[in-house]
């Protein structure tokens, strides 16, 4: 069986193409809608506006420049859109098992059906822990899905099912999370789309003005002459409210060094932004720093997950931990206690037989109403593990309890033996 690669066994909701070289979000189909919203208006502009402006302007070079700028700028928008949606946004790799250094046991005493107390240890994790950022303690949360403590500014995307560093939001128009590694491309996309809308809107309005001057007509006649220009102006005006407003909002966030997620959360909780380094430094951090390499190699061969090492059971050392005189029940691998009991019984029977023969029939009286069983169930010695010499059972002093039970069982056997001897006589 051929070894699988990381992208083939990926537990997130991402979609991979080109053998794991490109990674998209689960809603990558919406990217086709975004492409249509960009490409179709530009094609209409080039055919119905830029081509006619090339003939209307006195200089043909100006007309070709208008057409070339529209095409090149559209290509730029599509490239940054592709970089935003097809790359790793900053996914934090999952842990195969919870971090062992954070294990914490919460021991509680429960009462079973027989009324005996039993300690039931359960594995617990602190929900948060503190890390220091710019001299200020910041709490980070534990992610149960990824089984790790999230780095600062990291959040789990419910759509992609991944923890993303510097998580801003999940954008359905690009079909990808916006995080540490693609936020710069996302801002370039929305700002370039805003400039493209302004460019198309302006030249469409200019073409209407040219038609008015050439035909000495009114605005209505010019609009009837080129209805495509009117449609483009209306489309770009509506689009500017979305991409233009989004660009302005993210300029505000970059100046404060905040993400969209932090802005809404801090506003609701009234928290202090510990990542603000000043407006200039915040812009330099976003646009002038090197993009960190991805933490994931999706084309690498996946390793087989090794199950975590089983944890040793917790056995209380003091009987007070169990809430009374209840003693812990330890499962035995070998019944060492029963073997010791049989050997001791055999030796005691031989010694008592010799003692009775030496003294004759003058034995001490015994109660004949005692049961004939060699050892009652109440005095049965507890079983011990095969590694008893290293176990907490022996260290806690419960081995003395086993010796006491053994002595009591030997005395009971002695009395039963003498009683049966007298009855035969």
Residue 360, exposed/middle/buried by CB under 10 A (0-12, 13-18, 19+)? Answer: exposed
For residue 177, list its beta bridge partners.
170
- Window from 56-70, 100-114, 214-228, 250-264 with minimum mean pLDDT: 100-114
* Most distant CA atoms of the chain, gap in Å: 149
| 173 has pLDDT over 90 | yes
- Proportion of the chain above pLDDT 70, given as a percent: 64
List Cα–Cα distances, 167 to 217, 300, 402, in angstroms.
Answer: 54, 25, 61
Asked if residue 32 has pLDDT above 60, the reply is yes
The DSSP annotation for 245-314 comes to HHHHHHHHHHHHT--HHHHHHHHHHT---TT---HHHHHHHHHSSPPPPPS--TTSBPPPPPPPPPPPPP
Catalytic residue numbers, as ranges: 171
* Structure-model confidence comparison of residues 225 and 197, the more confident one: 197
Three-state DSSP state, 157: strand
Label residue 85 by pLDDT band (50, 70, 90).
very high
Query: How many CB atoms are closer than 10 A to CB 38?
Result: 19
pLDDT of residue 342: 62
What is the Cα–Cα distance from 57 to 54, expressed in whole angstroms?
6
Residue 99's pLDDT band, with cuts at 50, 70 and 90, is confident
Structure-token pair, residue 156: 């789990």
For the chain, give the percent of residues with pLDDT over 90.
41
Q: Which pLDDT score, from 0 to 100, does residue 359 have? A: 61
Is pLDDT above 60 for 226?
yes
Is residue 264's pLDDT more than 70? yes
Nearest residue to 383 (alpha-carbon basis) of 343, 324, 333, 348: 333
Average pLDDT over residues 381-397: 39
CA separation for the pair 337, 161 (Å, rounded): 54
Q: pLDDT confidence of 355, banded at 50, 70, 90?
A: low
Both tokens assigned to 80: 């940054």
pLDDT averaged over the chain?
76
Segment 247-255 mean pLDDT:
96
Cβ atoms within 10 Å of 78's Cβ, excluding its own: 17
The DSSP bridge partners found for residue 169 are 178
Predicted pLDDT at 407? 52
Residue with tokens 């260290």: 395
148-149: strand order across its sheet: 128-133, 136-143, 148-149
**Cβ-contact 314, 105 below 8 angstroms:** yes
Model pLDDT for residues 293-348, shown as the tens digit of each residue:
999 999 888 876 655 555 555 454 444 444 444 444 444 444 445 555 566 666 66
pLDDT for res 284:
94
User: Residue 60: what pLDDT?
Assistant: 62
- Provide the pLDDT confidence category of residue 222 given band limits of 50, 70 and 90: confident
Q: In 3D, which of 419, 424, 425, 423 has the Cα closest to residue 352?
A: 419
| Residue 281 CB coordination number (10 Å) | 12
pLDDT score of 349: 67
pLDDT in tens, 118-169: 555 555 667 888 888 877 888 889 998 998 899 999 999 999 999 999 999 9
């Amino acid at each position: 069986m051929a070894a699988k690669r990381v992208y083939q066994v990926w537990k997130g909701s991402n979609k991979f193409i080109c053998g794991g070289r490109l990674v998209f979000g689960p809603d990558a189909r919406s990217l086709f809608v975004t492409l249509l919203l960009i490409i179709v208006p530009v094609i209409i502009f080039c055919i119905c506006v830029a081509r006619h402006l090339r003939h209307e302007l006195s200089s043909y070079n100006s007309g070709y420049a208008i057409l070339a700028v529209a095409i090149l700028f559209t290509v730029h928008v599509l490239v940054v859109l592709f970089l935003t949606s097809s790359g790793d946004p900053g996914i934090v790799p999952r842990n195969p098992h919870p971090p062992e250094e954070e294990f914490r046991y919460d021991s509680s005493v429960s009462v079973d059906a027989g009324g005996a107390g039993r300690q039931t240890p359960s594995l617990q994790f602190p929900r948060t822990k503190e890390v220091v950022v710019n001299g200020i303690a910041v709490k980070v949360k534990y992610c149960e899905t990824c089984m790790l403590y999230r780095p600062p500014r990291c959040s789990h995307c419910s759509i992609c099912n991944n923890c993303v560093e510097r998580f801003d939001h999940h954008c359905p128009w690009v079909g990808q999370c916006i995080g540490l590694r693609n936020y710069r491309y996302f801002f370039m996309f929305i700002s370039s789309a805003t400039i493209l809308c302004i460019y198309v809107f302006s030249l469409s309005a200019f073409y209407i003005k040219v038609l008015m001057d050439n035909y000495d007509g009114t605005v209505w006649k010019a609009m009837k002459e080129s209805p495509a220009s009117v449609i483009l102006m209306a489309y770009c005006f509506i689009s500017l409210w979305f991409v233009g407003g989004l660009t302005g909002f993210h300029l505000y966030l970059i100046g404060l060094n905040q993400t969209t997620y932090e802005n809404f959360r801090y506003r609701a909780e009234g928290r202090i932004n510990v990542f603000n380094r000043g407006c200039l430094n915040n812009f330099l951090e976003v646009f002038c720093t090197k993009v960190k390499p991805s933490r994931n190699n999706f084309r690498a061969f996946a390793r087989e997950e090794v199950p975590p090492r089983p944890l040793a059971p917790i056995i209380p050392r003091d009987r007070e931990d169990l809430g009374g005189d209840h003693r812990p029940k330890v499962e035995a691998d070998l019944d060492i206690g029963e073997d010791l009991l049989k050997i001791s019984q055999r030796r005691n029977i031989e010694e008592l037989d010799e003692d009775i023969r030496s003294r004759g029939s003058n034995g001490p009286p015994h109660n004949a109403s005692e049961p004939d069983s060699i050892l009652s169930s109440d005095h049965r010695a507890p079983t011990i593990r095969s590694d008893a010499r290293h176990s907490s059972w022996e260290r806690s002093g419960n081995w003395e309890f086993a010796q006491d039970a053994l002595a009591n069982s030997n005395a009971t056997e002695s009395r039963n033996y003498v009683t049966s001897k007298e009855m035969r006589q």
